Structure 1
Amino acid sequence: MSERSKASGGKLRQEIARLGAQLEISERRCAAMIEVARNLTAVADIDELLRLVAERVTSLMEADRSTIFLLDKERRELWSKVAQGEGMQEIRLPVERGLAGWVARHGRTLNLRDAYADERFNPEIDRHSGYRTRSVLSAPLRGKSGEVLGVVQTLNKRRGYFSIEDERLLEAICSQVAVAIENTQLVLGLLARNIELVEAQEQLARRVRELDALANLERIAAAAVHIDEMLERLLRQTVELLGCQAGSIVLLDEQGQELVFAGAVGGRAEQVKRLRLRRGSGVAGWVAENGRSALVSDPAGDPRHLTALEDELDFPVRNILAVPLGAGGENIGALELLNKVEGRFDEEDEKLATLIAGQAHSAIMTWRQREEREKENRLSSIGQMLSGVIHDFRTPMTIISGYVQLMALENDEQKRHRQSEVILRQFDFINNMTRELLAFARGESQLLLHKIYTNQFLEQMRELLERELEPAGIELELQDNYQGPLRADENKLRRAVFNLARNARQAMPAGGHFQVRVDDGGDRVLFTFADNGPGIPESIRHRLFNSFVSAGKQEGTGLGLAIVRKIAEEHGGSITLDCRAGQGATFRLELPKRMEDTT
């Protein structure tokens, strides 16, 4: 074989070896690219994704280390949580500086054999870390729209420098990584939005529960007939809603010196209701005094907690939530909740308890104002009633005075006995009116219903009415067309008849005619009182039955007809007027025949 053939054969073997080495490198790089693609599709966490990509790039590039930077547009920074080689650290670089910043700004690959020879290189990181950068290959990460997402930077080729093939390989890797990053960011964005949606749904559900609870508390407050009942129902609902063992409402007493437990539920509730505490004592007292909420996770270590009271009640306290009853105004007390069943009281519990405390404060103030109005109304009514009683005292006192004078002149013992019975009945009448007034002052109002026969009632009234009317020259006529029973308060019915008779007498000072007629009205008894006086002036007819309305009569007080209307309404009846100018006045009193005993 010639020398020339031998030389050609040697070159061929070298070329085959070279091509074989390149093929091996290419196969290794293809395998690594396949593994990178597999990792990109299998990893959903972006930090793990960046770490794996950095490892594979370092291996493929036969480099010392690699870093993947992502672009933070708002802060105009490149950041990375992954750095291969000596360790892992977070790096944040301004996009206006350094090689990676230049690649991010211009969107072009940068391949340097000597980084320190390039003015764009920032040596501060090397000085800070102690690392020596030689060769650098940086390529941009571009999204589907061509927008730069970040930069992949690999440092220090172990043998020689980064080649054109290395640039193409890194750019290919960057295109895959960019897609994976965009997909991962999309998935993470969707997950974040889903988490936000779930949290919003949970907050909405919690808000709905709170609104339902507040609406239920509003119904409880409206339905309760007494403040104690309302507070106990409110506390039970609150304890159930917040999942705790006990609750109480403490209020300042009228003197503002002590705290009283207006309501309590849960552990030792009956004992707690009997307690009175010095103002400002305990967690609840501190809250009531300062108008600020208190979340106490360790009562034993809180100086405000009444440890001695806890021992006395034998009720261990693990945690406390107390909120003021103030609703932005003057604090009247506190709502205190004890022992959250699961975990501890938190800020959400505090917000809900504050809303409930506002409801409780409004309900308590409404009850107090209602009681105050009732007291004022009762005092006013007592005054009006006292005026009516004094007004009606005149009739029995006049009768008593007249019969006492007759008795003084009468020698017949039997007549004196009858006159004394009349006087005694008038004293009974006075006593009944006095008892009625005292009962009303105690908040009681009742009718003493008895079966009354109208014929007997009118006969008993005849003598008394004649003594009222005869001195004024008024003729009395009694006519009973019913002669049956009804259930009524006899004393009050007598007062009504007297007032209507007196009203007629005052209207006819020169004499006249007064008729009392009783008729059957089906389920009602109709009393008609008619006179032939001048009638009622039209100007006062629409308010005739109001208190202190009078037509200018010399002895009139304006109470008589108001008393008659009150008596009629108490019996479930009515009083009406039929009047024509110059033709007298006719009053019609209608009462039901049968009434259940009413208190």
Structure 2
Amino acid sequence: MSTEKQQQAPAIQAGVTVPKARDCANEAVQPGRQLVVHLAADGLTVRCASRDACDVLGCDAAALCGQTIGDLLAENSPLPGASAILRARETGEMQTLVEVDGCDGPEWCVTVEPVPGESEAVAAFIYTARDMTAARAAEEELIRTRRELTILNQAYPALSASLDLDHVLITILDEAQRLIQVVGCSVWLQDVETGELVCRQAAGVKNNVIRDWRLAPGQGIAGWVVRKGEPVVVPDTLTDEHYFQGVDNQTGTPVRSIMAVPLRAKHEVIGVLQVVDSETDRFGQDDLALAQSLAGCAAVAIENARLHRRAELEISERRRSQEDLASSRESFRNVVSNNSDGILVVSPDGEVRYANPAAEALFGCSVEALRDGRFKYPVALRAGFAREVDIESVDRGRRITEMRTVETGWEGEKGFMVAIRDITDNREVEEQLRQSQKMEAIGKLAGGVAHDFNNLLMVILTSAEFVKEELEEGTTAQADINDLLTAAMRAANLTRQLLAFSRQQALEPRVVELNEHIGHTQKMLRRIIGEDIELSFDGASELGLVKVDPGQIDQVIMNLAVNARDAMPRGGILSLSTCNEQVKLSDPSLIEELGSAFGEYVVISVGDTGHGMSDEVKSRVFEPFFTTKERGRGTGLGLSTVYGIVRQHEGYIRVETAVGQGTTFKVYVPRFTDEDQAAEDDAAKVEVPHGTETVMVVEDEESVRRMMAKLVGSLGYKVIQAPSAATALELLEQTGDPIDLLLTDVVMPDVDGVALADQVRAVYPEMKVLFASGYTNDQLSGRGLDENAAILMKPFTRDRVAWKIREMLDGAPPAAQP
């Protein structure tokens, strides 16, 4: 602009001077570009311009001042909104417009304001152009922030409405879907122990199958976010290497865009909020900002829920611990109170601080008395004490106890807990067991002796029978042989009595006249009961017969006699009697008491003049191991054995007693009727059966084997003898003729009869086997002998072996067998 034109410019009026305009222009330069140009009254001459205006126009302030701006009003003028200057000149009014410099250029707010002079004419124009880009961005940021805060203020009450973690997670997903409007979303939380990410909740994904999915550390988009600690936006999953394609395959939901933001609590990433959509490039910066804000609230809600859950667990655990402690204390009280052992808590100086009810029963005095008293056994007041101690019970006398002591505290003071167990009954049972074992040992000894006796008697009886057959009837020699046979049979009966005493005799019932039998037993009874007890026997005339095992009946009588003896320690009368009795339908009380059917019985009564029994003792008298005798004087098995033997004979037993009036046991045995006797007589008239079959006799004792072979041979059988099982097996292989029956002893050296029978049957399964033994059933049962095996008990007579062999060979007992 030329100097001449500058001189033609009108002066500024109304107090507007050029220095003042320059100051205004310079002061207008503020953060964010602001262009200020002071024009003269013609609206064309530049008086001054701000630094930003000079920069835009490409010249300095000094060069610009005084020039016209006509060239600035061209179409491509760098001065934004220059057209407003022309309109202000034309109208004399302030002009304002907004102009954007290109597509991505700054936004300008242009104002041209006329400055009136003293005569109210326009003295100058002030052109101002403000760069509104930063302000607009700040305004938009403010609007966005207000929008986010509004949304989060709406979402936060829902997130904080519950402290249940699952409910919080569902609410987070509901809010994410509502705010961001996506196909699906999910919350992944980190497993602290494994480092894996676990999908705790998912929404919008088909069938919700990704719930509880686990991703290895760093796997997938969520894993990447956790590892990096930064949010990520995936515009297109098809081109992203981190995307886990399994979601598409498993859910059938096409995922093309993903946005995932970390969930942070106390500066640590605890999980990931992930949203997905089926469109590509779905998420912008606003969505990311919103998701991050939502994730911040969600992380707080999740952490609160977790803290609440931990607090609940701690409170629950504390409550459970308190309940367990209270229950434990109550259980301890119950255990101590209900314990069968007496328990005392005693101070070091012997003062009883606590006593349970069992201690009351043990010492025979009240709990209060025990607590108020002093402990009488100071030897036990030391930790680790464990010993048997005899105590005195007020109502039960001397008791044997086992005391154990531990040191304990009681109400803040040192003390001792003493557990006292009454072992008196245990000691008595142990004594009974020792007595029972002693009796068992005596029984085994008696069984062994009886076996030897039976073998000897076998030879004597068999030899005597053969000698008798060769003598003429009525001769003195035959009478002597008869006496020999009678003595041998009495010896056999004596052996049975010995076995009966040891309770090992096998049951061999036979018809017996009890008066005669008891008469033979009296000698043994007198030796058992002693000299200070009188024995009387009253046998009924015309007493009926019974079919019993004589040895077992002897045991019944002896046990009852021993029991009666013990009931009369200062002597008395033991009375035995027999009678016939008929139990009728008109006597239902007797039938009910005996448990018996009506019919005819022979009754054996064993009475004493002892101290008698109370009703309580009477009700338990047949129980095994029950005894009222002093320690070491009884096993408690005698009467239970009597009961078992009587019931085995289909009989019954009755007790009549009263305290101070003695006791009488009545044994009811079924009477052997006339019809039974007739059958027995008919059988006796039948001729002893013979045979022609081959019998092998195996017996290790030579004299017994020779007599057995002679006896069997006298019945017409062909006999092969063998002294051992090995010889028997050799003879079986060598002989050409079939052997029909194996008659073998059971107990033999090396291989016994049972093993021999098993080996023979393996080769000759049709061969019959008959065992012979002088041992008892109890002793044979341990050798594997079948309970249905055929056995001949030694000593046996010629008639007995004849019928038994025939029974074995014919397969069934003969109809007329005696």
Is TM more than 0.5 here? no
Under a length normalisation based on structure 2, what TM-score does the superposition of the two structures give?
0.30
Higher relative contact order (CA 8 A, sep 6+): 1
- Structure ID, larger Rg: 2
Report the structure, 1 or 2, having the larger helix content.
1
